Amino acid sequence: MTTQGPQKTIQQAILNNLFIKIQKTSTAINQVTEWSLFVLGFAMAIIIATQVFFRYALNHSLFWSEELGRMLLVWISFLGATVAYKRKAHIGIDFIVQKLPGNLATKIRILTYVFSLCFFSIMIIYGTKFTLFIKFQKSPALGISKSIPFAVIPLSGIFFLIHGITLLMETILSESKK
């Protein structure tokens, strides 16, 4: 026991250090994401309102507004979902887990994080593959590479993964302190 003691505290210190670094990254990413949500959301509203204005006031339909708006929607949806994940705002069915004894509930919570991390990894791996796959396809109205709007899936996957690891470590560390 005496030999294990100091070793365990060193491990603990390394883990704590790593945790603080990941936590900082996660917070920084989240701040940037939140600001981009504001910019993208505001832009989407203005673009669609402009589309109406052009059609009625100037009698001239914009050809690019709908496509750009849809791209913004996809970006807002996936980036916003990472912020919701960071805020633990995604809706789940928690009334069964709540009824379980604390120890088992924590174990299940850790399990849910692990499953979620698997899903995020799929978003990253296959999202990246698909982004590269459609590199040369051009969007019909704007003529930009289809990879640009699609890249939000692997990108948000990375953000999800970092937030998820932070939440997982938070749970594990708070458990081991007890």
Partner 1 sequence: MTTFVLFFCLIFFFAIDVPIAIAIGISSVIALMMKSDLSMMISVQRMYAGTDSFPLMAVPLFMFAGALMEAGGISRRIVNLADSLVGWMTGGLASVAIVSAMFFAGISGSAAADTAAVGSILIPAMVDKGYDRDFAGAVQAAGGSIGVIIPPSIPMIIFGFLTGASIGRLFAAGILPGILMGLSLVVAVVIISKKRGYGYTRKFALRTVLTSLYHALWALGAPIIILGGILGGIFTATESAAVAVIYALGVGLFVHRELHVRDLPRIFIDAAVMSSIIMFIIAAASIFSWFLAIEEIPKLITGFLLSVTTNRIILLLLINAILLVAGTFVETTASLILLVPVILPILPNLGIDLVQLGTIIVVNLAIGMLTPPLGICLLVSCSIAQNKLSDISRSIVPFLAILLIDLLIITFWSPLTSLIPNLVLPTH
- Contacts with partner 1 by CB under 8 A lie at 34-35, 37-38, 40-42, 44-49, 51-52, 56, 66, 69-71, 73-74, 76-81, 83-85, 87, 89-97, 108-109, 111-112, 115-116, 118-119, 122-123, 126-127, 129-130, 133, 149-150, 153
- Residue closer to partner 1 by CB (options 23, 139) is 139
- Residue closer to partner 1 by CB (options 19, 130) is 130
Q: How far is the CB of 24 from partner 1 (least distance, A)?
A: 21
What is the length of the chain?
178
Q: How far is the CB of 22 from partner 1 (least distance, A)?
A: 20
Q: How far is the CB of 102 from partner 1 (least distance, A)?
A: 14
- Residue closer to partner 1 by CB (options 10, 118) is 118
**Sole residue written with tokens 């989407």:** 44
**Sole residue written with tokens 């932070």:** 166
- Residue closer to partner 1 by CB (options 15, 121) is 121
Q: How far is the CB of 134 from partner 1 (least distance, A)?
A: 9
Q: What is the C-alpha separation between 166 and 20, in angstroms, rounded?
A: 9
DSSP class per residue in 54-82: HHHTS----SSHHHHHHHHHHHHHHHHHH
Q: What angle do CA 138, 51, 156 make, to 5 degrees?
A: 50
Radius of gyration of the chain (CA): 22
Closest CA to 168 of 123, 127, 116: 116
Q: How far is the CB of 147 from partner 1 (least distance, A)?
A: 11
- Residue closer to partner 1 by CB (options 17, 31) is 31
Our CA dihedral for 147, 130, 75, 167, rounded to 10 degrees, sits at -140
Amino acid making up residue 139: S
